[in-house]
Every structure is written in structure tokens, then in C-alpha cells.
Amino acid sequence: MPVEPLVCADTATRVSSVLNRDVKQFGKKHMFDASEETCWNSDQGTSQWVTLDFPRPVKVSQLHIQFQGGFSSRLCTLEGCRTGEELVKISQLYPQDSHAMQISFATFQVEETVLDKLKITFENSTDFFGRIVVYHLGVLGERL
């Protein structure tokens, strides 16, 4: 099965914080708008996260992420679950601190895991204050 983008207009997204609560300039929608000029910018804190609630079950196979250099995460933890269930750890990723598109192909158990919800936790920010800046977040896989 070919992979396709899984985030759509019906995908409910939440983030841990937005810099200065300025959602117009730094809100979560900017991770998905395909613009190189806009981004989600978290506020400071030790652990930031993004959750995606898909409108129907999906199998995630790839995660594409582009951080702002100096505002990335040294460790990303992926968790997922079906509706009504508790989140379970799927994998850990170790992105590089650069502005380049980080493409992490899923060699973890996602192929066998059907999800309705995905949580990406950004731990160990490279920024002294714990801020995370994401220009692009793509989740690819198969809709079921």
C-alpha cells in the first residue's frame, strides 16, 4: 500500500503550549500549512508535545519533521492508542539539531499497530529554556 498524508482538516490537534499564547503567529496550524515562513513555537518548559486525533483508524509508517535549528528535540517519544484506550509507547527517535527536514522512517512497531491517536513528546530540547520550533510535521501511512 502506498503511503499518504494522514493529517487532514478533520484531524484534531493539540499542543502543550504556544509562545506567549500568540496562536495567530505561532499556533499549531502552522505545522501543517506547507509554508516555509510559518511555524509552531512552543513556550518554554521541560517537555513539549503534540497530539493528533485522527477521524478514523490509521497505520503510521513515516514521520517527517522540520525543526528550527537550535530549537529541536534531542529525543522524541511516540505514543499511540485506539479510542478509549491508554497511550502506549511506540518508539523513540533521536533527531539532529538542524533546520533540515528530518525524515524518520518507522522501523518500529507501527506497521502492526492501528491508531486513532498519536502523541509526539519532545524531550530534551536543544534550547536552554526548553522551547521547540517546528516548521513542518508530516505523518504518513495508511487510512483504514
Question: What residues in the chain have per-residue pLDDT under 70?
Answer: 1, 97-112
pLDDT of res. 78: 92
Given this model, what pLDDT does residue 93 score? 84
Q: How far is CA 75 from CA 1, 46, 62, 72, 141, in A?
A: 29, 12, 17, 9, 22
How far are the Cα atoms of 35, 51, 124, 142 from residue 74, in angstroms, in the given order?
A: 24, 19, 5, 28
Domain 4-136+138-143, architecture per CATH: Sandwich (2.60)
DSSP calls for 72-122: -EEEEEEEEE-TTS--EEEEEE---SSSSEEEEE--SGGGG--EEEEEEEE
What pLDDT is stored for residue 102 in this prediction? 56
Q: What is the 3-state secondary structure (H, E, C) of 43-61?
A: CCCCEEEEEEEEEEEEEEE
What pLDDT score does 107 carry?
Answer: 33
Neighbours of 46 (CB within 10 A): 9
Question: What DSSP designation does 128 have?
Answer: T
**pLDDT value for 95:** 81
